[in-house]
Amino acid sequence: MTDAGSLRSARASPGQVQCFAQADKLEEREADDQLLARGSFADSFTLGELLGIGSFGKVYRAVSKAQPGQDFAVKIVPKHREGVLDERIARRIHEEIETLKMLQSRPEAVQLLGVFEDEDQVCIVTELCLGGDLEHFLKDYGSMTEAEAAHAAHDILQVLAECHRQGICYADVKPANFLLKRPYSRQAHSSSDSSAPSRVLEIRVGDFGCSQRLQKKEKLNKRTGTPLYMAPELFMRYYGVESDQWALGIMMYQLLSGHLPFWDEQSDRSPFAVMSAILSKEVCYSGPEWEGISDSAKNFVASLLDRDYNSRMTAAEALEHPWITAHCSEDGCSVANNVVQLKGRNLRLSKNH
């Protein structure tokens, strides 16, 4: 894209919205398409409360004027920032929108409903997720059960596998970027009520602002993402989609144990200390927080936290891992802790620091 002032591939003219409904969902999206009519964002929506703040924009609730009670989320991204070229900002916004469009076949990716643009900002309208994110989940519950973690991993992997199939590196896997579609109550989902939903968690993958595209066998050299979740190869500035899998391994360790693998609250988290730990520190699966966690779960995490990206478990392989298949299926998620036979990969676990 060469024009810094417009996102021509994402809309038809300034202030006009373009909807991205898919053919097989036209009936389902008909009401939404009517909501996102031509005009400015303010013509169709009232801006609601602030939901979150990111590096490149803020997310608000968007309340429909045409149909009260129909709420969405809107990410508002300024087109001008001090010290940043307008062309660079426009390119970043364009790439985020295009990436979202490419992933609309996956229901686990946040659904893109339209884009408004004026001279100063771009408004990206998506489905509204009211359950918070996995970072807040950890603050509320401390850690996840194996069933919860397996289902979260399953939904995230569905999107990562599609990203990687299309040559997209998500590049910022971390709990804050994975949303719960609806409020979650562990007590409600652990009950014996047969009317309770079969799925433990309903995850949406959002915030594709750091994602990068690459050609087959191409490697990236620009560091992006959150340092604590960076793969070893990022520090060498020679990485690909495999780096997403390492970051997922860090996050899964965190979801299961309640803390990160290399650091506690007192650890030195200076840039050099973080890099050194990621490159060489042993991963520990002992301690009271790991008691009762199955070897299958530990193997899943260890297969992701492989410092050799050539042998690291891919997203497609992870979806077929016995720990995932024991808990999850296309019909839903089982809350039982099934006993499975580990196949294909040897356990690579450390009993001591």
Query: Of the candidates 329, 328, 325, 330, which has an alpha carbon nearest to the alpha carbon of residue 341?
Result: 325
| Catalytic member of 32, 133, 155, 172 | 172
CA distances from 78 to 10, 86, 118, 295 (A): 16, 10, 10, 47
**164: DSSP letter:** H
Both structure tokens of 206: 């959002």
Both structure tokens of 319: 């979806």
Place of tokens 């810094």: 4
* 8 Å CB contact between 302 and 283: yes
* 8 Å CB contact between 210 and 172: yes
Dihedral (C-alpha) 101, 107, 110, 112: value to the nearest 10 degrees? 40
Residue 136 identity: H
Distance CA 35, CA 3 (A): 29
Residue 188 falls in which region: left (phi positive, over 0), alpha (psi -120 to 50) or beta? alpha
155 is an active site residue: no
Distance CA 124, CA 273 (A): 37
Contacts of 238 (CB under 8 A, 6+ apart): 219, 220, 221
* 8 Å CB contact between 161 and 340: no
Alpha-helical segments (H) within 120-145: 134-141
Residue 133 falls in which region: left (phi positive, over 0), alpha (psi -120 to 50) or beta? beta
Half-sphere exposure of 5 (CA within 13 A, CB side): 4
Both structure tokens of 109: 């990716």
Query: Which residues are identified as catalytic?
Result: 172
